[in-house]
Amino acid sequence: MKVLKAVIVVFALISGNTSVRADVVTDWNVTAINVMKAVNVAGNPWTRSMALVNVSMSDAINSVQNRYSRYSTAELTIDPNASAEAAAAAAAREILMRQYPGQKAQIDAAFAETMRTIPDNPARAAGIALGEKAAAAIFTERQSDATNAPDTYRPLTTPGVWVPTTPPLFPQYATAKPWGMESASQFRPGPPPALSSALYARDYNETKEMGGVKSTKRTDAQSDAVRFWTQANLGPAWFQAASQVSDRRGLSLAESARVFALMSMALANCFVVDWDAKFQYNFWRPITAIRNGDQDGNDATERDAGWQPLNTTPMHPEYPSQAGINAGAARGVLEAVFGSAPEGFVVTDISDARLSRRFASFAEMAEEHKEVRIWGGIHFRNSLEVGAEMGSKIADHLVANYVKPAR
C-alpha cells in the first residue's frame, strides 16, 4: 500500500499547481503502470496491457451508466443499480491478475484501497461481479489477437555469411490484430524515399549532424530531451498528460474512462500498424545508413565510418517511426476530446521524479516526442512525419467508431 500511495503522490506532484482529483480510472492506470514497471514490461506488450485495462474499465462503467458504447460484443446486461466505481476496479484487477499473477499482493492492495471508498452493500457486490464479467469478455476476445504467436522472423542472408544474431523486438506484432481496425495494414503508408532522392539526402544529413554521439549541432537542452524520452516514458507520459487535463476539466467517471480507453487503444494500435509497415519495407537505421553512405548511390550522402547515435538503436526497422505514430495517435485522441487550445501540463520520468518536462499543449509535446528521435540519431525526419500522419488516422478512426455516446 505504501508503494501505491507513493505513486499517487508522484502523480499529484507532476500536475504542477493543479490539484489532482483522482478517480477510480486514473487510480487504476497508476496501478497498472506500477505493476508493469515491477516486472519490466515496456513497448508493445505495455500498450496492449494498458488497452486491456482501460477498455475493460470503460465497458464495465458503461454496463452500469450506459453513457458510451461498449467495445465488447459479448452480451452483458446493463445494471444501473450496480456501483460503477466497483465495476471499474474489479475489471482492472481481473485483467492485471490474469496477466501478472506474480504481482497479486500489489494488485490486491490497490483493490482494497478502492473498496474502502465504496460502501459495502449490494451495489458494490453487483459492480464487482459486473466488472469481472466485462474484463473476462475483453480478455477472451483478445486472446486471438496473435500478439503471442511464435517468433518465426527469418533473417535474410547468403548461406554461410554472418548476420547480427540479436532477434528483432516482437516481430509477431506485424501480423497481430489491432483494436477496432480491419487489419494491421489498414493505414500502411507507401515506401520510404528512394536512396537516390533529395529527400533521403536531406534526412540523412540532418540525422548525421544532429543525432551523432559527438554532434556539435545538438544543444544541451536537446540532449536532455533525448535522455528523458526513453522507451519507459513514451507511453506513461501521455497518460500523465491525460490525467492532468481530465482532472482540470472535471470529467465524470464515464468520460474519464472514454479518454483512456480511446487513447490506450490508439497507442496499442501504433505497435501493430507500425510493425506491419516496418517489416514490409525493412528500411535501414541511421547507423547502418551513415556507415554505408558510399553504397547508397547518392552523391549528397557522405559516409562516416565511425558514426554512432546518441541513443541506442532499437532492434527493428526504421520506417515508419513508432515514436511518430505514438505522438500522432495520442495527440489526435486528446485533441478530439479536449480541443487543440493551449493546455499546460508536466510529465515526469516514471523512475526519477526529479526529471520532468513541461508543455503548453498536446501539439508541443507531440513535436518534442518526435524530434528527439532525430536528435538521438535513430530516425529520419520523413519517417517521423509519415508516422505522425498514420497515428492521426488511427485516432480519427477510433474516435469516430468506438466509445461513442450511447444516447
Closest CA to 4 of 132, 103, 119: 103
Unique residue bearing C-alpha cell 500498424: 273
Query: What span, in angstroms and rounded, lies between the C-alpha atoms of 268 and 46?
Result: 8
CA atoms within 13 A on the CB side of 328: 25
Confidence of residue 3 (pLDDT cuts 50, 70, 90): very low
What amino acid occupies position 266? Answer: A
Query: What span, in angstroms and rounded, lies between the C-alpha atoms of 257 and 9?
Result: 21
C-alpha to C-alpha distances, 150 to 170, 171, 316, 369, nearest whole angstrom: 10, 9, 17, 31
Mean pLDDT for all residues in the chain: 93
**Are the C-beta atoms of 387 and 274 separated by less than 8 Å?**
yes
| Mean pLDDT, residues 19-34 taken together | 84
- H or E segment to which residue 224 belongs: helix 220-228
- H or E segment to which residue 244 belongs: helix 231-249
Which residues, 6 or more positions from 120, have their beta carbon under 8 angstroms from its beta carbon?
none
Looking at residue 11, its pLDDT comes to 45
pLDDT at 14 over 80: no
C-alpha to C-alpha distances, 285 to 83, 203, 226, 357, 397, nearest whole angstrom: 51, 12, 17, 27, 30
Query: What span, in angstroms and rounded, lies between the C-alpha atoms of 174 and 154?
Result: 13
Looking at residue 117, its pLDDT comes to 95
| Mean pLDDT, residues 133-146 taken together | 96
Instruction: Name the DSSP letter for residue 101.
Output: G
Looking at residue 153, its pLDDT comes to 86
Unique residue bearing C-alpha cell 487550445: 341
Copy the grid coordinates of residue 115.
Answer: 473498496
Q: Please state the three-class secondary structure of 13-34 as a single string.
A: HCCCCCCCCCCHHHHHHHHHHH
Query: What span, in angstroms and rounded, lies between the C-alpha atoms of 317 and 153?
Result: 13
Summarize pLDDT for 69-127 with one digit per residue, the tens.
Answer: 999 988 889 999 999 999 999 999 999 999 999 999 999 999 999 999 999 999 999 99
Looking at residue 245, its pLDDT comes to 96
**Are the C-beta atoms of 14 and 346 separated by less than 8 Å?**
yes
Which residues, 6 or more positions from 401, have their beta carbon under 8 angstroms from its beta carbon?
180
Peptide bond into 320 cis (omega under 30): yes
Query: What span, in angstroms and rounded, lies between the C-alpha atoms of 106 and 96?
Result: 10
Unique residue bearing C-alpha cell 494498458: 50
**Are the C-beta atoms of 277 and 319 separated by less than 8 Å?**
yes
pLDDT at 17 over 70: no
**Are the C-beta atoms of 264 and 48 separated by less than 8 Å?**
no
| Mean pLDDT, residues 384-402 taken together | 98
Looking at residue 18, its pLDDT comes to 34
Confidence of residue 22 (pLDDT cuts 50, 70, 90): low
Residue 209, classed as helix, strand or coil, is: helix
Summarize pLDDT for 195-254 with one digit per residue, the tens.
Answer: 999 999 999 999 999 999 999 999 999 999 999 999 899 999 999 999 999 999 999 999
**Are the C-beta atoms of 322 and 270 separated by less than 8 Å?**
yes
- Please tell me the least confidently modeled range out of 18-32, 161-175, 209-223, 246-260: 18-32
Copy the grid coordinates of residue 351.
Answer: 523512475
Summarize pLDDT for 307-338 with one digit per residue, the tens.
Answer: 999 999 999 999 999 999 999 999 999 999 99
pLDDT at 8 over 70: no
Closest CA to 256 of 7, 29, 12: 29
